[in-house]
Amino acid sequence: MKSIQEKRPHNKGSNKFGIKLENFESYEEYSKACSKARDLERKDCPKRIRQKRYSAVKRWYGITPEEYEKYEAINTCYLCGEHMDITKERKVLHHNHKTNKVYGMVHDSCNLIEGIAKGNPDKLRKISDKIKKDNSN
Ligand SMILES: [Zn+2]
């Protein structure tokens, strides 16, 4: 079996975080270590991160940093109406993928459910009714 170094010859030496691929058993472990290092680096520079986010939301949704700050301060999910605790779950901007119109902040999971159900909301209701029925038995 090929070693990870042989499989990824371009990953030679250490990367910008001083992490060497050859020191890891798998590429996944190496990748995790790199993500951790990247997160730590970002924490050291929150202003830069914020600026990046601002320009991204401006580009994606056409909203100003002030508007984004207002959305970010919202702690009630636009979709389910429940409280959002960011220590438990990420909150995300819910928007129309065609028009890019922003609706509000939502739980990451609610956004995922909405994304899946969008094409067929009646099916989501049927599934929800079935879950309720099964839980009551
Ligand atoms: Zn929600």
Residues 11-52 have pLDDT tens digits of 677 777 788 888 888 888 888 888 888 877 766 677 877 888
Question: What is the third-level CATH fold of 46-136?
Answer: His-Me finger endonuclease fold (3.40.1800)
In terms of Cα–Cα distance, which of 109, 116, 56, 69 is closest to 85? Answer: 109
- pTM for the model: 0.60
SS3 content of the chain, % helix, strand, coil (to 5): 55, 10, 35
CA 67 / ligand 1 centre spacing (Å): 21
pLDDT > 90? residue 91: yes
CA 51 / ligand 1 centre spacing (Å): 27
Which residues are paired to 107 by β-bridges? 91
CA 100 / ligand 1 centre spacing (Å): 20
How far is Cα 61 from Cα 73, in angstroms, rounded to an integer? 17
Domain range summary for the chain, segments of one domain joined by +: 4-43, 46-136
Q: How much of the chain, in percent, has pLDDT values that exceed 70?
A: 89
CA 3 / ligand 1 centre spacing (Å): 44
- pLDDT: which is higher, 5 or 115: 115
26: left (phi over 0), alpha (psi -120 to 50) or beta: beta
Q: Tens digits of per-residue pLDDT, 109-124? A: 999 998 888 878 898 8
CA 127 / ligand 1 centre spacing (Å): 17
Tokens standing for residue 128: 């929800």
